Amino acid sequence: MKLSVLMPAYNAERYIGQAISSVLGQTFADFELVVVDDGSTDGTAEVVQSFRDSRIVLIRQANQGIAGALNTGLGIARSGLIARFDADDICYPYRLQRQYSFMRESPDYVLAGSMVDYADMEGRFVFTYRPPGNTDRVIRRLSYKICPFIHSSVIYRRDAVRSLGGYNVHAHGFEDHLLWRRLIRVGKVYNMPEVLMRVRFNPNSLTMDETCRSPLYLHTKYEALRKESIHAAEGKLLLEVIKSQEQSGEREQAYHVLLAKKYLWNNAQPRKAREHARRVLSDRHYTRKGLYLLLLSYLPGRLLVFLYRTLNFSGYERS
């Protein structure tokens, strides 16, 4: 077996069937698909079991969080090459072949990502994401605050990640970014300049727009990235902040903040941006952000492009 596809899943019943189908439809066929069901309470496992393909390996465990699920998968994966993939995304048919070929021909590289298409929760195209750097040299020069890879787009060498202890279970929401900071010291890295998959913006996923995170969360995160480590006490603090935001219903509004930004800056569709900005205005936590985005959506397209390129509204342009 030449490749292991590693997919953690938690309450992913709605999308995981599409995700699995996209993996099974790859032009590259010599792989196993390791699905780690991290304590789902819906029909996630049943959807996985409905596929009659011997390449699928389903592991069920009590909920440990995404880092814990990934570490479980790393321990089970039989191939020395791991292609990461999320349960709500779509692999384009040539993804595994392209990445496997690159890693086979480039033994000094430990990690490779790619460009991706982003879609909303219904699967509608939003924009094409281009990483902040492609070559090893450029990626190494990026600020430690910038994550150079889309997690579910990467392929990496299993033993290199295992040698670092896998994913840090305390880095809630940035376990991938922290791993890349450490992995880059082991070998070369690269972002392939082609679109290999579609990533879904999903309000139920762990990823949340940076501008919607609390100052305490961001300070703790960036300190951990700077130090390249995080401890249990800091992780507990992060988890408390995340749970507080989830309980207040902020995650749904953060999803609309993100889409309003992307339709403004990355797709030049102010009408669609306006729809999401109005949704944001309905929430007391983000009234100011919603009003700001709504006003921007009425500016001429050329002026928006000018603002994006020259004034660097960094708080509203990052993914």
pTM, two decimal places: 0.89
Residues 126-150 have a mean pLDDT of 96
pLDDT tens, 199-208? 999 877 656 6
Residue type, 289: K
Least confident of 8-17, 105-114, 136-145, 299-308: 299-308
Q: What is the CATH number of the domain that holds 47?
A: 3.90.550.10
Q: Is 25's pLDDT higher than 70? A: yes
Q: Is 266's pLDDT higher than 90? A: no
Q: Do the domain assignments include residue 195?
A: yes
Q: Do the domain assignments include residue 180?
A: yes
Number of domains in the chain: 2
Determine phi and psi for 114, rounding to 5 degrees: -160, 175
Residues 26-31 have a mean pLDDT of 97
Residues 239-254 have a mean pLDDT of 78
The domain in which residue 139 lies consists of: 3-200
> Please, what is the average pLDDT of the chain?
90
